[in-house]
Structure 1
Amino acid sequence: MVALSIHEALVKNDVKSLSKQEITKTLEVPPQQSMGDYAFPCFVLAKTLKKAPNQIANDLSANMESGLIERVEAVGPYVNVYLDKTFTGKAIVEEILNEREAYGSPSLGNGEQITIDLSSPNIAKPFSMGHLRSTVIGNALANIMQKCGYTPVKINHLGDWGTQFGKLITAYKQWGEEEKVKAEPIKELLALYIHFHEEAEVNPELEVQGRYWFKQLEDGNQEALALWKWFREVSLVDFQRIYQLLGVEFDSFQGEAFYNDKMEPVVNELEEKHLLSESDGAMVVGLDEFNHPPCLIKKSDGATLYATRDLAAALYRKKEYSFAKALYVVGGEQSLHFKQVFEVLKKMGYTWAADMHHISFGMMLKDGKKMSTRKGKIVLLEEVLKEAIELATENIESRNHELENKEEVAKSVGVGAVIFHDLKNYRQNDIEFSLESMLTFEGETGPYIQYTYARACSILRKGMNQVEIVEQSYQAFQDDKAWTVLSLLMKFEEVITHAYHQFDPSQIAKYTIDLAQAFNKYYATVRILEEDNQLGSRLQLVEATTIVLKEGLRLLGLKAPEKM
């Protein structure tokens, strides 16, 4: 909106070298509100106009009033832009009220598909807090991609193959009891897995047996296959319950095992393209030109590896989905692995490898250390979610025990608290697991934003019952607190665009915090429901805020209860 007005003003000054999109990227927000609403840096025009940025700023400031712009001021190499608050405010709320949830949608995609590899827990192991990050970051990115005009394809690349299943089969045959596994599948399978590693420390023969049983599984041994299928089925039932709590759905559950018959063609293609070489009996693809170690394709015993499987998966997904981008939401410790996979694809001649991105993230730590399933040092996500819901229920009972749909609201608030605690942090940062900070219902939290939304909905319900004001004035938007809210509403598309380009949901989380805080300051100082000729415009501002808050929460994977 503002970029369009500045673009019109520049065209009026015979400056036509910048598009609206380029202006959007270059606009800055001054450090103080007294310096204007936006600052346009004239450095970007110096080369085209062959003038000093200060001179360009002075020239433009003489004739730049246009549309939403009330006045401009040249300050060094910048043109500081002051918007007409009444005119701009009216335009903003009208656009939001007309477009509703479609407001703020950048036209970046055209329905093209983007595959997103997310969550991907190992079967026969519980869903821990360590899996939360990939799940909620990936889900939020899928929502953001969809908002930007793409079609996301959410793939749960299950860890359903590998040596660990040989170990688990060994453990089950040694100590497992069918009835115990049937009664509490994941709990019992985890206990067996932990017990295997404890025993293997004093009895190395167990590791040999584990490798033997995985080889049996690879060779199609009926007993091994039957156990593996059983472990997979009970795991998926367990996972599905947690995904329903989180509100996360998938388009595909094709895991590692799906690519078992798709790896040999990849190895053959690498051989045909003369990319494979031998190293200590293993087959590798050299990556010296990328300054990376060789990518291991086949071990000396002929077994394929994660890289082989991911190459097969990439080729399958490109053929199946014809993706515009492929995102892998996987922890930062796998950074080298994905660099190698993408580089091998480039060497194979697939230019679309440039559209593949590893969306890395920091670890979920407990007492400063990485959580480990092997050592039993994990926090179960389902237990955290249940505790969060219980706490939300207690808060609702104490504040509004007559609330309808208490159970549903408590679930939305409790689960939202856990999701938002993760997403408000920049994804590359490690997060220390802290139930206390995660479940705080004050400050920069999901429940705080949900409560702000519910409060705004309550104002609207009361306002609709008041006397209809015939005369309408937008002078209310001159108020500083109102203008702060309006300025944030205007930036929604800009925030989404940045979150898209940087694969960073935390920008939307921080934006919703800023908007909720600005609205609460407005609510605390302005008599919104006072019956005067500005009541209608104030209610429009409240409604516009509810639309954007709800959409911001939705993008993050949170629900917005209208009553709390």
Structure 2
Amino acid sequence: MTNDKQLAAQALAAVLDNALSEAEITNLLETPKKSEMGDLAFPVFSLAKTLRKAPNMIALDLVEKITTAGFEKVVATGPYVNFFLDKSATATAVLSGILTQGTAYATLAKNGENVAIDMSSPNIAKPFSIGHLRSTVIGDALAEIYSKIGYTPVRINHLGDWGKQFGMLIVAYKKYGNEAAIRKNPISELLKLYVQINAEAAEDPTVDEAAREWFLKLENGDAEALALWQWFRDESLVEFDRIYKELGVTFDSMNGEAFYNDKMDEVIDILSEKQLLTTSNGATVVELEGFENPALIKKSDGATLYITRDLAAALYRKRTYNFAKSLYVVGQEQSGHFKQLKAVLNKMAYDWSDDIHHVPFGLVTKDGKKLSTRKGNVILLEPTIQEAVKRAAAQIEAKNPDLANKAAVAHAVGVGAIKFYDLKNERLNGYDFNLEEMVSFEGETGPYVQYAHARIQSILNKAAFKPESVLGQIFSLSDDESWEIIKLLQAFSDVIARAARTFEPSVVAKYAINLAQAFNKYYAHTRILEESDERDARLSLAYATGVVLKESLRLLGVEAPTEM
């Protein structure tokens, strides 16, 4: 089916005598800010130099020549050619497409290409906090979005299970640790040890030195160090798995940093063969043009760093998954690290380094203050989820006490509220954590969108609506509010494409809010169930809106209950 942008681009290309290609025209098409200005607008400024005319005259000339087939009208407004869509034809095409395809609407066929997504990646022996939420839910949403447009996502949980912090933890355990207490309550006890030893290290530099020595032992396979590390790791994964289950997030790989411990020698050998390694103050580095500092591959004591392991991981992932894109959903404070990673891979002559993308995000704060595990200032995710579900349950009890599956719905709403609130914020914008605002059924929240979806299901159930019963009909709707919904539904595929192109799930979340708001406005002014010539069209519009709301929420990892 030719969409309306294609139709407008074809109509313009036919009268522009190759001045612009269809693709160039499509890229220039805009959506007017006011609906009375039309549904699509083409700015003619770029043609002024070529045609040697004032832009408003060019617009008038084009309108005289354009064939208006498929459009209600085409008019010139100053330097713009404005297209008004044929409302009935557009509504029929959009609604028929959704009635036929259901949630498969706007899905593209698999193209056989993989997208590797490095996401979540919590540190072993530390509690799973709100700080880890962003990487987890942004990465999971991007996986669903890329799957929707034809790719196969590979979700990779690159666990923070290696590094000097384990030397620090081993020092703490040997100084203060109580095995029985850790076995009883592993994560909270390990966190206490970690906070205590970091406070001590701030005052006593010998603690830091001892931690470096223990990590070097760990890298060299020391039996005691490995046994303690394995114990800390196993206990952590039990807690992480429980939280991932709560969030409904799964992974294709749990290979953390430690997995690459025996794969770094190859990287160093390749760098050496390509004559890229130099020595600086006893450390092994790769000099990089345009960077203030070189890439530090090995410290003077022989210990490796994040970038060494990330180079090994990048090579492993390319060989294993042959990715078309490799995304790293990691906080924006690591931007410099990923620029260096790409630069080193580029110097190694791997052209696929261009397919690596750092997907940065801003911080979550509480009362405007930065959170820090090291300082013991964290919001733990598991009790936060429990509190969100409790608050959702209280609202459901007040609104619909006879709901049959209240516990399941409360869980879907509570967890969905936390995820949606995170994802509606543009990645690079941090946000201040506010659970009350997250779980509210009013405002730009997940529960608001879920409630709109549930309301639609109630309407459709009352009407005993079946999509197959209206297939083949011409749908005409006379009001402006339904037209706004039609245009939003038509834009769904463009929304998904933009979200994928910009690695920005907030595009989908904001779209879902806009669609829910548009439907609620329509619902407030229209008797959908009333017998009229438009009843089938109104019910079809409600059904289509419900389908797209449900699919939008699914792309964000949020459930869409049918009752609330």
Class of the TM-score when normalised by the shorter of the 2 chains: over 0.9
AA in 1 matched with 2:262 = D
1:491 corresponds to: 491
User: Which moves more between the two structures, 189-198 or 48-57?
Assistant: 48-57
In 1, distance between residues paired with 2:471 and 2:266? 73
In 1, distance between residues paired with 2:212 and 2:471? 80
2:256 corresponds to: 255
Q: Which runs of 5+ in 1 are unaligned?
A: none
- What pairs up with 1:141-156 in 2 under 5 angstroms? 141-156=142-157
- The reply on whether 1:187 has 2:188 as its aligned counterpart is yes
- The reply on whether 1:557 has 2:543 as its aligned counterpart is no
Could you tell me how far 1:274 is from its partner in structure 2?
Answer: 1.3
Q: Which of the numbers 33, 36, 61 marks the counterpart of 2:35?
A: 33
Count, aligned residues: 560
Deviations 1:232-279 (A, max 9, x none): 111111011111111111110000001111111111111111111111
SS at match of 2:311: helix
SS at match of 1:284: strand
In 1, distance between residues paired with 2:506 and 2:131? 18
SS at match of 1:127: coil
2:219 corresponds to: 218
SS at match of 2:536: helix
1:267 corresponds to: 268
SS at match of 2:30: coil
Could you tell me how far 1:203 is from its partner in structure 2?
Answer: 4.3
AA in 1 matched with 2:243 = I
- The reply on whether 1:84 has 2:86 as its aligned counterpart is yes
In 2, distance between residues paired with 1:187 and 1:228? 16
2:330 corresponds to: 330
SS at match of 1:270: helix
* Contact 2:418–2:438 (Cα < 8 Å) also in 1: yes
* Contact 2:362–2:429 (Cα < 8 Å) also in 1: yes
* Contact 1:469–1:533 (Cα < 8 Å) also in 2: no
SS at match of 2:158: coil
2:71 corresponds to: 69
* Contact 1:485–1:518 (Cα < 8 Å) also in 2: yes
AA in 2 matched with 1:501 = R
* Contact 2:92–2:474 (Cα < 8 Å) also in 1: no
1:300 corresponds to: 300
In structure 2, relative to structure 1, the CA distance for the partners of 1:133 and 1:377 (3 Å cut) is same
In 2, distance between residues paired with 1:409 and 1:337? 42
- What pairs up with 1:92-131 in 2 under 5 angstroms? 92-105=94-107, 110-131=111-132
* Contact 2:440–2:448 (Cα < 8 Å) also in 1: no
* Contact 1:6–1:66 (Cα < 8 Å) also in 2: no
* Contact 2:505–2:556 (Cα < 8 Å) also in 1: yes
In 2, distance between residues paired with 1:282 and 1:221? 23
1:516 corresponds to: 516
* Contact 1:118–1:135 (Cα < 8 Å) also in 2: yes
* Contact 1:121–1:127 (Cα < 8 Å) also in 2: yes
Could you tell me how far 1:104 is from its partner in structure 2?
Answer: 2.3
User: Which moves more between the two structures, 178-187 or 38-47?
Assistant: 38-47
Could you tell me how far 1:440 is from its partner in structure 2?
Answer: 2.3
In structure 2, relative to structure 1, the CA distance for the partners of 1:553 and 1:15 (3 Å cut) is farther
Could you tell me how far 1:383 is from its partner in structure 2?
Answer: 1.2
* Contact 1:423–1:556 (Cα < 8 Å) also in 2: yes
In 2, distance between residues paired with 1:19 and 1:410? 52
- The reply on whether 1:412 has 2:420 as its aligned counterpart is no
Deviations 1:311-332 (A, max 9, x none): 1111111111111111100001
2:540 corresponds to: 540
AA in 2 matched with 1:275 = L
2:4 corresponds to: 2
In 2, distance between residues paired with 1:95 and 1:470? 10
- The reply on whether 1:531 has 2:559 as its aligned counterpart is no
In 1, distance between residues paired with 2:164 and 2:474? 71
AA in 2 matched with 1:344 = V
AA in 2 matched with 1:229 = Q
* Contact 2:13–2:22 (Cα < 8 Å) also in 1: no
In 2, distance between residues paired with 1:151 and 1:471? 34
2:403 corresponds to: 403
- What pairs up with 1:310-389 in 2 under 5 angstroms? 310-389=310-389
In structure 2, relative to structure 1, the CA distance for the partners of 1:321 and 1:18 (3 Å cut) is farther
* Contact 1:64–1:71 (Cα < 8 Å) also in 2: no
SS at match of 2:234: helix
In 1, distance between residues paired with 2:323 and 2:51? 41
In 1, distance between residues paired with 2:66 and 2:108? 26
Deviations 1:267-323 (A, max 9, x none): 1111111111111111111112x3442111111111111111111111111111111
Could you tell me how far 1:199 is from its partner in structure 2?
Answer: 3.2
SS at match of 1:478: coil
AA in 1 matched with 2:325 = K
SS at match of 2:75: strand
User: Which moves more between the two structures, 393-402 or 51-60?
Assistant: 51-60
AA in 1 matched with 2:246 = L
* Contact 1:484–1:518 (Cα < 8 Å) also in 2: yes
In structure 2, relative to structure 1, the CA distance for the partners of 1:294 and 1:92 (3 Å cut) is same
Deviations 1:98-135 (A, max 9, x none): 2221222367x722001010000000100011001111
TM-score by length of 2: 0.95
AA in 1 matched with 2:242 = R
In 1, distance between residues paired with 2:463 and 2:366? 48
* Contact 1:38–1:81 (Cα < 8 Å) also in 2: yes
1:391 corresponds to: 391
AA in 1 matched with 2:327 = L
TM-score by length of 1: 0.95
Q: Which runs of 5+ in 2 are unaligned?
A: none
In structure 2, relative to structure 1, the CA distance for the partners of 1:49 and 1:177 (3 Å cut) is same
Could you tell me how far 1:47 is from its partner in structure 2?
Answer: 7.0
Could you tell me how far 1:52 is from its partner in structure 2?
Answer: 5.5
* Contact 1:61–1:72 (Cα < 8 Å) also in 2: yes
2:282 corresponds to: 281
* Contact 2:10–2:22 (Cα < 8 Å) also in 1: no
- The reply on whether 1:175 has 2:186 as its aligned counterpart is no
In 1, distance between residues paired with 2:541 and 2:277? 63
2:475 corresponds to: 474
In 2, distance between residues paired with 1:50 and 1:291? 46
* Contact 1:471–1:533 (Cα < 8 Å) also in 2: no
AA in 1 matched with 2:534 = Q
AA in 2 matched with 1:40 = F
Could you tell me how far 1:420 is from its partner in structure 2?
Answer: 0.9
